[in-house]
Amino acid sequence: MSSGLPSFRAVVLTLVAVLAVTVAAGGAVLLISDDAPGQAEQQEPAQQDSAQLPKQQPTPRLDQLVPTTQPVKDFGQGGPSVTVTPPRMLAVAPATVPKRTRFALSALKHVQKVIVVDAGAVKVSGTPLNLLAVEPSEFRSWTPQPVADQPAVWSALARGEMVADPSAVRRLGLALGAYYQVDGGPRLRVAASATLGLTGVDGLVSADLGRALGLAPGVAVLLHAKSGDVSEARVRKLLGKGAQVVALGPGAGKPKAKAKPKQQQRKPATEVTVGRPNSYLELYKISATRCPGLSWTVLAAIGQVESGHGRNNGPSSAGALGPMQFMPATWKSYGVDGDGDGKADIWSPYDAVPGAANYLCANGAGQGGEKLRKAIWFYNHSWDYVNKVMGISEAYARAYT
């Protein structure tokens, strides 16, 4: 594994790319055995048995069917609020910034606070992503207040997921909640989108994930100044030849001008979006990315058979719960927090559908063919159920192509 220096695109300053990162190969590998885990060993069926399946309803348009669950928490309800200290300058050093240089940066005129984090670039399908790798608890105050107060952002980072800047989401066409394969490295889930206010930075990951991705240690410096200007020339001199420096915040890079009387500049809106799909169609498609080789239409078919896409969530006579009709014991092993709100909720479609993909994948669904049929059988021990799911899956494939 080798690491290099980060490359940042400056809006105001044109920064020269100096980074070449080779991401460590590897990542999590799911080992599949012929013996199914979990519910296969239970005597009672995993879900409702075939005789108790809900009657087939006219299939709704999945792109118009909105998942419903408990409302998400408003900003600030996830924990104590943080007083933010927004960065006024971002600098990238040619090598790890030593402790003595950090002290010297802290001593510069107007500088009140300094933080040094890992940074670098990775590629997804050949497209570079510029990332900062941070400790969530330490970095929270360096983000805009709505971002600092959104618990989903920080729980996503703690889980080893990425928080992307909206500009990167739009430019790269990223789907929140989806997984992306890092070239030569692990898969990366984009859990949320948040306006970071960091020029050239596409997203945040945790420090642990940054190390796994091979990002350069301790090369990105953020400086906070309450008032006055921080000298870019002094920062460059302290960081050495090749350092990249960009001013941040309102008016950065623009010539100073006297403010017009009785006029106020409108502050840019801060945007925070948690990875909740807007329709069942999008939810099924995103959830299927958890299991390479699994078609979203299989998840959609199971969702239709089990609950009519959340219209009949149980409990069933066997005790199965939620839109994907999980047994509680199975949910404990395979349930996931799909939307980054800090809990895996068996009743929430945003958690239940990716949980179903997780369970199917553990039983070999991504391998297709008979492995897929057997995985569906483990979901509900009935070959009639398997045939019904496969038939509806094929109908969805025809309807949405």
- Going from N- to C-terminal start, the domains of the chain cover 42-72+277-399, 89-251+268-274
Identify whether 98 is preceded by a cis peptide bond (ω within 30 of 0).
Answer: no
Q: What value does the mean pLDDT of the chain take?
A: 77
What is 42-72+277-399's CATH topology?
A: Lysozyme (1.10.530)
Q: How much of the chain, in percent, has pLDDT values that exceed 90?
A: 41
Report the Cα 64 to chain-centroid distance in Å: 24
Half-sphere exposure of 314 (CA within 13 A, CB side): 26
> Is residue 72's pLDDT more than 60?
no
pLDDT digits (tens, 9 = 90+) for 234-281: 999 999 988 999 988 765 555 444 444 444 433 444 455 655 677 888
The per-residue b/e assignment along 100-115, b for 16 or more CB within 10 angstroms, e otherwise, is ebbebbeebeebeebb
- What's the mean pLDDT in 103-114? 92
pLDDT recorded at residue 69: 57
> Is residue 27's pLDDT more than 90?
no
Q: How much of the chain, in percent, has pLDDT values that exceed 70?
A: 73
Question: Helix 296-307 to helix 369-379 angle, to the nearest 10 degrees?
Answer: 30
3-class SS string, 342-362: CCCCCCCHHHHHHHHHHHHHH
Determine the Cα angle at 72 with ends 71 and 74, to 5°.
115
d(CA 200, CA 221): 14
| This model's pTM is above 0.85 | no
d(CA 90, CA 87): 7
- End-to-end Cα separation, the chain, in angstroms: 41
pLDDT digits (tens, 9 = 90+) for 352-396: 999 999 999 999 999 999 999 999 999 999 999 999 999 999 999
Closest CA to 30 of 379, 380, 386, 365: 365
Least confident of 55-69, 72-86, 133-147, 383-397: 72-86
Helices (H) then strands (E): counts for the chain = 13, 10
pLDDT recorded at residue 2: 40
Question: Helix, strand or coil for residue 158?
Answer: helix
pLDDT digits (tens, 9 = 90+) for 277-304: 778 888 898 888 888 899 999 999 999 9
